[in-house]
Structure 1
Amino acid sequence: MVSKISKKIYLFLMFAFLYIPIVVLIAFSFNDSKLQGVWSGFTLRWYIDLFKDAEILRALYITILIAILSSVISTIIGTFAAIGIHGIKGFNRNIILNLNYIPVLNPDIVTAISLMALFRFVKVEFGFITMLLSHIVFSIPYVILSVLPKLKQMNVNLAEAAMDLGATPFYALRKVIIPEIFPGIITGMLLAFTLSIDDFVISFFNTGHGISNLSITIYSMTRKGINPIINALSTLMFVVLLVLLLVINKRSDEDLKIGGN
């Protein structure tokens, strides 16, 4: 009995430590005062000012555009890569899987500086393209890891049976394999989209003049002093990412139920 109570207290304290700061942030996004920690009444003016701020809106546009493009491109590349890895047998497959894990485990700062050095070496002008390429690169391994479990669950004889009946390899891929692994593809794309919106380090080192996403813009604003607009923007970002997380978790639960059946 004591053990159960202590576990509940521990969980409560842990989640309180994690989420109380977010609750405070959300609450003060509606605070009428510019001072942090002083409540002066309820207001929505920071949200109104947020959508009147040209710098924020431009950063939001760039963030969403890069997130959409990078998630779609990385999903296409990652899906075909996962199918290729799944078809490899033996020791070579383990080597490739370990190579795919390295970017996931690698600190963001190492990946960021490595990409920056590569772009400088090939003399690519820093800007929108370099940021987009960077987001594609760090998203691909996550897509591969999302698609591979669905490939393992798939009946390996389905594609072979389709080709035995006269289907071309591309037709079997489009009509048999892709529909079977589609939930994993969607999960990988949502994960890549979330990672792109959330990224700061890789974006910061691989952007150019005039190209700034939300994370870089927020960082620049905080160095000048905390503006309540940042609270409103952070609240909206938290809500959007929370919704995406719930969608990903729900899809994962559905995949597990389907796999269990």
Structure 2
Amino acid sequence: MKQKRRGLFPGLYLAVILILTYIPLLLVILYSFNASRISSVWGGFSLSWYQELFRDRSIFEALRNSIILAAASSTCAAAIGTLGAAGMARTICRFNGPVEYLSTLPIMIPEIILGMVFLVFFSLIGLPFGMTSLIIGHTVFCIPYVFTMVKARLAGMDKSYVEAARDLGAGDMRAFWDITFPLLRPAIVSGMLISFAMSMDDVIISMFLTNVNTNTLPIKIYTQLKTGVTPKTNALCALMFGFTLLLGLLSMWIGRPRKDRV
């Protein structure tokens, strides 16, 4: 009898967590097809709000800014995170632990604190707020995602491939580009996809670093919430959720464990 109770509790706990997490998301997606203008009142099934959404030029301008921002920050984070993880894997010293902790610190600091730090720092150095400040800020909190995935990949990689390349006369750079980098590519791409999704979804840091001429999609949604939620906002949130979910699944598929090949 005790064994049955122990076996029932984990499943019940998981069910409660899933219900509390996904029921609101499902309701947002459901009411994006609501024919009524009032989100809380169901008026029948309709695609009119998706049609209105695709006719809104300001939405697509904000979407374009978000895509540019996410692509630039995830690319910069991939370069910095990969080089940092590869350099730490080759260098063994007593400072590796503190450096690794500092490298992952941006994802542990509350976003509002990180945004205020960026605001003060960029104001002191005279950097104007806009796309440049957004790319720098997003790159900082995206680096840990690439760094941790590449570091985990390096820890499980067979070092004999690199040693064999060096025995055959390859230098450090040639061994890295011909051997190490192809093996790290799935982890790099997976980290970039996660970084892209995190950048697309960020609101708090973006609010501190943007200006009136540079509007991102999450900020656009946030400003719409102040004037009231309409089914058009639900349609936009449903599309963003689907896009983020697709990136997450793609990241898991690319980063899944595989047998090392040269």
TM-score when scaled to structure 1?
Answer: 0.93
**Aligned residue in 2 for 1:258:** 259
Is 1:158 paired with 2:156? no
SS in 2 for 1:41: coil
- Cα distance in 2 for partners of 1:237, 1:165 equals 49
- Match for 2:242 among 210, 217, 239? 239
Counterpart of 1:184? 187
Distance 2:259 2:164 in 1: 22
1:33 to 4, 26, 36: 36
Q: Which runs of 4+ in 1 moved over 4 A?
A: none
- The CA distance in 1 between the partners of 2:140 and 2:104, in whole Å, is 13
Answer yes or no: is 1:110 the counterpart of 2:113: yes
Q: Partner letter of residue 37 of structure 1?
A: S
CA distance in 2, matches of 1:209, 1:36: 29
Equivalent residue for 2:222, pick from 219, 222, 225: 219
Structure 1 residue runs of 5 or longer lacking an equivalent are none
Distance 2:160 2:121 in 1: 42
Counterparts in 2 of 1:141 and 1:8: CA distance versus 1, 3 Å: closer
SS in 2 for 1:27: helix
What whole-Å deviation, never above 9, does each CA across 1:57-96 have from its counterpart, x for those lacking one? 1011111111111111210111111111111213111121
Please tell me the residue identity of whatever aligns with 2:236.
L
* Structure 2 gaps, min length 5: none
Q: How far apart, CA to CA, are the structure 1 residues paired with 2:141 and 2:21? A: 26
Deviations along 1:3-22, whole A, 9 cap, x unmatched?
33343333222211111111
Pick aligned residue for 2:145 from 142, 146, 167: 142
1:25 Cα deviation from its structure 2 partner: 0.7
Structure 1: which amino acid aligns with 2:137? S
Measure the CA separation in 2 of the matches of 1:11 and 1:163: 50
Flag the 1:5–1:166 CA change in 2: closer, same or farther, 3 A: closer
Partner of 2:51: 48
Determine the structure 2 residue equivalent to 1:17.
20
Q: How big is each residue's C-alpha offset from its partner over 1:114-171, in whole Å with a ceiling of 9 and x where there is no partner?
A: 1111111110111111111111111112111110011111223432432332223221
Residues 122-133 of structure 1 correspond to what in structure 2 (within 5 A)?
122-133=125-136
1:170 to 164, 168, 173: 173
**Hey, what's the Cα distance between the residues in 1 that align with 2:111 and 2:91?**
29
Cα distance in 1 for partners of 2:107, 2:243 equals: 23
Root mean square deviation, CA, Å: 1.5
User: What code does the residue aligned with 1:151 have?
Assistant: L
Query: Separation in 2 of the partners of 1:44 and 1:176?
Result: 50
Distance 1:6 1:177, change over 3 A: closer
Match of 2:197 among 178, 194, 219: 194
Q: C-alpha distance in 1, partners of 2:10/2:175?
A: 51
1:222 deviation in Å?
A: 0.7
| Equivalent residue for 1:76, pick from 69, 75, 79 | 79
The one-letter code of the counterpart of 2:142 is: S
The CA deviation at 1:236 is 0.4
* Residues in 1 aligned to 2:239 and 2:176: alpha-carbon distance in whole angstroms: 39
**Is 1:59 matched up with 2:62?**
yes
Percent identity among equivalent residues? 33
Aligned length, in residue pairs = 257
Matched residues in 1 for 2:205 and 2:90: separation?
A: 32
The structure 1 residue matched to 2:206, chosen from 199, 203, 208, is: 203
Aligned mates of 1:12, 1:114 — CA distance in 2: 39
